[in-house]
Structure 1
Amino acid sequence: MARSLVFFFVTSVQSLFFENMFETRGHYGTCKDVNGNEYDGWSGSADFKTCEVQCEGSRDCVGFDYHHGDDGPIKKVAGWCELRYTDGAAPASSPISTMKHSHFNHHGSGEVVHISSRDDFERICYAKRGQDEL
């Protein structure tokens, strides 16, 4: 009698996505943690997809703020990305050559829960979701 072996491989399905906090909260604002703290990070010129891909590729990136420019009344800083990292986990050097501004003095940690209540720069926070399910 012939026996056959059947192998099943279980793989995780990546369900990583970015929640547009402008759509869920109804206003512009920078990403903040459960205690209302802003995150460490790097900022500078980058297109939206570059910003998104850079954050996707870093486990310590909790989200990013992005200024689309043409979508709102302030049009002078279109294409501005601010990568947000949990406290102390931002890379020591810029992850993208066009990002020249470091922000290491914030204390945000964990997932993005809030956004600032006022933002003159019309940044939209994109909170990383689904990372813990991997």
Structure 2
Amino acid sequence: MHIQDSHWTSASAVASGGAVGAAAGNGRGDSSRTTPLRVDAQRNLEHVLRAAREVFGELGYGAPMEDVARRARVGVGTVYRRFPSKDVLVRRIAEEETSRLTDQARSALGQEDEPWSALSRFLRTSVASGAGRLLPPQVL
């Protein structure tokens, strides 16, 4: 699995107040979607992603999608509507985690003059925040 092959807009674009576009909005990378998600659909998407991080973090990637749906308090059909397979959901989470790690690395580089100090800062902040712990083993 290669993160570069992912079809979603980076989480940082969504988090920075950008419009929820086609790719970030539906989880499938369907570029025909040009309107933002309804408020309830966006909320459900956020619940599913948060639940997936928790479930996979606790039970590993073998956890069933039904557990994700239950934790998100949505029907399993809602999960599969946004993420047609577990692989697609895992890729989305991996992309968001990678984006967060990239942001932390850039921040560390901007705050330190020496490369070793920047690396040290990055490692401290990454470990403290738990970033990267949800990346699939194949990515690591």
Normalization by structure 1: what TM-score? 0.27
The structure with more helix, counted as a fraction of residues: 2
The structure with more strand, counted as a fraction of residues: 1
Normalization by structure 2: what TM-score? 0.26
Instruction: Name the larger-Rg structure.
Output: 1
Query: Greater relative contact order: 1 or 2 (C-alpha under 8 angstroms, separation 6 or more)?
Result: 1
